[in-house]
Amino acid sequence: MKMETQNLQVVRLHENPHYLKACCELINDEWPRSETARMMSLQASCNHLPTSLILIDDMKRLLGHCKLTAIPSIPESCFIETVVISKSMRGKRLGSYLMRQVEEYCKNILKLKMLHLSTKGQENFYAKLGYENCAPVSIYGVRSFNSVPTISDKIPNQVPVINNIVEGAPPPPPPPMPKPETMVNNTLKSTKTFMFKYL
Ligand SMILES: CC(C)(COP(=O)(O)OP(=O)(O)OC[C@H]1O[C@@H](n2cnc3c(N)ncnc32)[C@H](O)[C@@H]1OP(=O)(O)O)[C@@H](O)C(=O)NCCC(=O)NCCS
């Protein structure tokens, strides 16, 4: 059964902080994690990125959540994460509605040109919304495997180092990415399916 979409609203979580606890429970019901860690992640929501968007109905019930995260190497896109509809409300097109609203938000408010995401198991859901498979992308600031070498690749060992910082050199590389995404031979490897869509 399809929900009447005129009764639904997608709003920013940080402008509706009374949903924080319920949102934490909604997400942890699907992907259990410490409440503290989850709350910290949700409390980071802001008008730039990251942003948590929530789906609520006319009874002010929380029905869904989606987080948008920056992709440092692709500024014209963002990464869609933690898409979830409350268990009892699935299969009513709410997930599709949430995604469409999120796409409008990214296009019209954030002025983005495309969206990326990764999934393991929900490929068909996203494919129906127009997402296509693509190469893995990292949200951790690691440059892509086919990018040209940078000056930091060529710093000889003998260059004087002051407080572990090479004078005149670019800033040190970011910390290694957590699994499941890992770099092998300078290529981002992942067990997930990466997908993207032009807005
Ligand atoms: C994935 C999820 C957000 C979809 O929300 P939903 O409201 O149940 O989905 P919809 O009702 O909008 O479904 C839209 C279409 O996708 C299909 N679909 C939904 N989930 C699917 C799945 N897991 N596999 C295949 N197709 C799926 C539906 O059958 C429907 O197809 P139709 O248009 O031909 O009828 C929801 O099931 C959910 O919260 N799942 C658990 C969390 C999760 O896995 N999130 C994704 C992380 S990448």
- CA dihedral over 168, 170, 174, 176, signed as positive or negative: negative
pLDDT in tens, 66-92: 999 999 999 999 999 999 999 999 999
CATH assignment of the domain containing 132:
3.40.630.30
- For ligand 1, the distance from its centroid to the CA atom of residue 161, given in whole angstroms, is 53
In a domain, 83, yes or no: yes
Could you identify the atom of ligand 1 that is nearest to the CA of residue 122? 23
**Pocket around ligand 1 at a 6 A CB cut-off:** 30, 83-85, 90-96, 119, 122, 124-125, 128
In a domain, 159, yes or no: no
- For ligand 1, the distance from its centroid to the CA atom of residue 37, given in whole angstroms, is 26
- Its domain, for residue 24, covers 5-138+192-198
Q: How many domains does the chain have?
A: 1
In a domain, 46, yes or no: yes
pLDDT in tens, 112-138: 999 999 999 999 999 999 999 999 999
In a domain, 157, yes or no: no
In a domain, 187, yes or no: no
Residue 103 to residue 111: CA distance in whole angstroms: 10
pLDDT at 1: 64
In a domain, 186, yes or no: no
In a domain, 144, yes or no: no
pLDDT in tens, 87-103: 999 999 999 999 999 99
Q: Which two tokens stand for residue 74?
A: 């692709």
Q: Rounded to the nearest 10 degrees, what angle do helices 20-30 and 35-43 cross at?
A: 120
- For ligand 1, the distance from its centroid to the CA atom of residue 157, given in whole angstroms, is 52
- pTM comes to 0.82
Find out whether the peptide bond into 180 is cis, omega within 30 degrees of 0: yes
Rg (CA), the chain: 19
Mutate which of 26, 54, 62, 125 for ligand 1? The one with the most ligand atoms within 8 Å of its CB, which is 125
In a domain, 20, yes or no: yes
pLDDT at 149: 34
